[in-house]
Amino acid sequence: MESTELKQYLEIAPEVEEALRSNRPVVALESTIISHGMPYPQNVETAMKVEETIRNCGATPATIAVIKGKMKAGCSADEIEYLGKKGVEVTKCSRRDMPVILARGMDGATTVTTTMLIAHLAGIRVFATGGIGGVHRGAEKTMDISADLEELASTPVMVVCAGAKSILDLGLTLEYLETKGVPVLGYGTKELPAFYTRKSGFEVDYRVDTPEELAKIYLMQRRLQMPNGILVTNPIPEEYSMDKTVIDKAIEEALAEAKNRGIHGKETTPFLLAKIKDITGGDSLDSNIQLVLNNARLASETAKELCRLEQGS
């Protein structure tokens, strides 16, 4: 797309544009976590708190979504409230949905996939979220593999998450990322965190201990002209992590119910997330909120290091 034509469909919020222009740190945030990942009103409260956390760290937040056919890099508080209240009524927008949603002037909640895509179009390099999609259990039959993995393979954005939930096949998810050339880094750990818990029994490629090193690895990937993104897995803080047996049981129960009800395709992940929340009586939601805040802090520090390293060079 010609850049002038693209501009008709991409709306960068003034404060985000200003930060990017003056090489100040910006952190992208997704909107499916708001509309499909958490219930109202906690979703909106969390989204606002995440933005505030990023500002307190000295970076600019850019919540990404599609609103009335426009790709937004930076949503207003009213837009976040709108997406949160509408919830699952907003179309969950992955890569394949983008042309339809834009051509029809619809709203779309961006997943990790489309948040990366829009962040990259806007020039944002770091993105904080909760968990990513991956290879689902039983994917050898269903072929249910999240488009998030393909986007990580082809879009140069660093995604800071808390690992992946064991609703997925974590081993196969790591294999897939290896095939696609995506570095998987553990922040302060060699073990892949499993979202609600700090441990999964699987190893990441490398342990990295500082935001500065994360930024250096990102810049090196650019220097090498590689098209891929980077996955940073940041374990949930100890005090908010869940009991492994409790969460494993909830996940098994949710998976069994999804199977019984024939849930499939794009409905699978939101169904499992909501079910797990119900089974754990809301405990999982508290953990979920805390880990997103934790990721927002690390993403902000890394975005700051990126800007600092570039100024120095």
51: partner contacted, choices Mn ion, ligand PSU, none (Cβ within 5-8 A by kind) = none
Q: In the complex with ligand PSU, which residue's Cβ is closer, 146 or 197?
A: 146
Q: Which of residues 58-117 bind ligand PSU (CB under 6 A)?
A: 111-113
Torsion of CA 272, 207, 148, 241, to 10 degrees: 20
Q: Which residue is nearest to Mn ion (CB)?
A: 144
- Residues in contact with ligand PSU, total (CB under 6 A)? 19
Query: Which residues are paired to 161 by β-bridges?
Result: 233
Q: Please pick, among 17, 72, 151, 165, the residue that the annotation labels catalytic.
A: 165
Q: DSSP code of 191? A: B
Q: Which of residues 116-145 bind ligand PSU (CB under 6 A)?
A: 130-133
Give the span between the Cα atoms of 161 and 234, in whole angstroms: 6
Give the span between the Cα atoms of 119 and 184, in whole angstroms: 20
Active site residue 165: yes
For 153, the token pair is 């393979």
151 binds ligand PSU (CB under 6 A): no
Could you list the residues that contact Mn ion (CB under 5 A)? 144
Q: In the complex with ligand PSU, which residue's Cβ is closer, 82 or 195?
A: 195
Active site residue 30: yes
Strand ranges, E, within 104-191: 108-110, 126-128, 158-161, 184-187
DSSP 46-90: HHHHHHHHHHHTT-EEEEEEEETTEEEES--HHHHHHHHHHGGGS
165: partner contacted, choices ligand PSU, Mn ion, none (Cβ within 5-8 A by kind) = ligand PSU
Contact between 198 and 189 (Cβ < 8 Å): yes
Min dist. Cβ of residue 280 to Mn ion (A): 23
For ligand PSU, the binding residue among 60, 63, 233, 269 (CB under 6 A) is: 269
Give the span between the Cα atoms of 25 and 231, in whole angstroms: 19
33 binds ligand PSU (CB under 6 A): yes
157: partner contacted, choices Mn ion, ligand PSU, none (Cβ within 5-8 A by kind) = none
Give the span between the Cα atoms of 166 and 301, in whole angstroms: 28
Give the span between the Cα atoms of 167 and 158, in whole angstroms: 23
293 binds ligand PSU (CB under 6 A): no
Q: Please pick, among 30, 51, 301, 305, the residue that the annotation labels catalytic.
A: 30
130: partner contacted, choices Mn ion, ligand PSU, none (Cβ within 5-8 A by kind) = ligand PSU
AA identity, residue 304: K
Q: DSSP code of 97? A: G
Min dist. Cβ of residue 249 to ligand PSU (A): 18
Q: In the complex with Mn ion, which residue's Cβ is closer, 144 or 301?
A: 144
Give the span between the Cα atoms of 249 and 139, in whole angstroms: 21
Min dist. Cβ of residue 161 to Mn ion (A): 17
Q: Which residue numbers are catalytic?
A: 30, 165
Residues of this chain that interact with ligand PSU (CB under 6 A) are 30, 32-33, 37, 111-113, 130-133, 146-148, 165, 195, 266, 269, 273
